[in-house]
Structure 1
Amino acid sequence: MSALKSIKSLVPLLDRVLVQRVKAEAKTASGIFLPETAVKELNEAQVLAVGPGAVDREGKRIVPGVKAGDKVLIPQYGGTPIKVAEEEFHLFRDSEILAKINE
């Protein structure tokens, strides 16, 4: 089994979406640093790559609802975790993405 050297070499298939969770702030507004155990994982993620979309029964491509660069809301659990070096990424199906965050 070969390890990925770079996350850029991973191309999602069909309706899969590759995301990386946004890291929660480890510092409070008043400047106090929190220990890693006290920082909760956020359900917010950055979309890094998107597959071309699933195919319906007639053979037509269903375009995913998100694109690379979007900020999205993902479920607390689920997805397929992928670890590259010390960083963790997740693959979700387009239908599992809860919402797109417009800023």
Structure 2
Amino acid sequence: MAAIQLSASTISAKKLPSFEGLRPSAMTMASPLRPGSLPLRSFRGFVVKAATTVTPKYTTLKPLGDRVLVKIKTSEEKTVGGILLPTSAQSKPQGGEVVAVGEGRTIGANKVEVDLKTGIQVVYSKYAGTELEFNGSNHLILKEDDIVGILETDHDVKDLKPLNDRVLIRVAEAEQKTAGGLLLTDATKEKPSIGTVIAVGPGPLDEEGKRKPLSVSAGNTVLYSKYAGNDFKGGDGSDYIALRAADVMAVLS
């Protein structure tokens, strides 16, 4: 059988059908789908909510490792004087009830259990964790280290029991007057970064899973980082802040 070899010079363009009506923009090349290969515009109808919804068919949720599941406290809808607050003015809750805890974590050769029990009221870092809707209520799943402390009595922040390396400080009152004697308005009063330590946590865990004591203790007057920690208003009208011991810069005497 004779073989026929064709070259570009042997093919006459006039013998081929005309493709003048086909524009390049009318053609799309299909490519195999690979994970992560779809362009972002393909997901215009896909919306990720800030709070993950757990479907009703799941009736239990077991946190893993050193994570904790907290049922979020409902936002205050009224002021102390009974004035109804709009949604935009309602402060985001920073507390709730522990409803489930993980089995703990391993540090070195030691297994460290989560030092929290279900049913207790806790305060947590403002921006920590992942919100989710579970059994019809809003919950937060977060790490144990994001729990600031435990509210043991009266649910007042002055009774907060700090955890790990956290420190509870009663903030000093802002100066009412300038050095020259001028009266300051609330808007011009500078937020103080000095206060008295009310309570301290047991300290962070070292590489062997043992607690390291903190360098400050209750009763110390301290200078702390201005933008650190969680601010609270106590039932006695005083301002409090809970922060990490590393954010305490100096002890004053």
Q: TM-score range by the shorter chain?
A: 0.7 to 0.9
| Runs of 4+ that moved beyond 2 A | 1-9, 27-34, 82-88
Confirm whether residue 75 of structure 1 aligns to residue 247 of structure 2. Answer: no
Aligned to 2:240: 89
* Aligned-residue offset at 1:16: 0.5
Q: Match for 1:88: what amino acid?
A: D
**Is contact 1:5–1:84 with CA below 8 Å preserved after alignment?**
no
Which blocks of at least 5 consecutive residues in structure 2 are unaligned?
A: 1-72, 74-95, 97-150
* Distance in 1, Cα, partners of 2:232 & 2:175: 22
Task: Compare 90-99 and 76-85 and name the one that shifted more.
Answer: 76-85
Deviations 1:32-60 (A, max 9, x none): 43222222122111111101111101122
* Aligned-residue offset at 1:82: 2.4
The sequence identity of aligned pairs, in percent, is 35
Q: What TM-score do the two structures reach when normalised by structure 2?
A: 0.36
Aligned to 1:14: 164
Q: What TM-score do the two structures reach when normalised by structure 1?
A: 0.81
Task: Compare 86-95 and 30-39 and name the one that shifted more.
Answer: 30-39
Aligned to 1:65: 215
Structure number with higher relative contact order (C-alpha < 8 Å, ≥ 6 residues apart): 1
Q: Which has the larger radius of gyration?
A: 2
Confirm whether residue 37 of structure 1 aligns to residue 187 of structure 2. Answer: yes
Aligned-residue RMSD, C-alpha: 2.2
Deviations 1:39-86 (A, max 9, x none): 212211111110111110112221101001101111110201223334
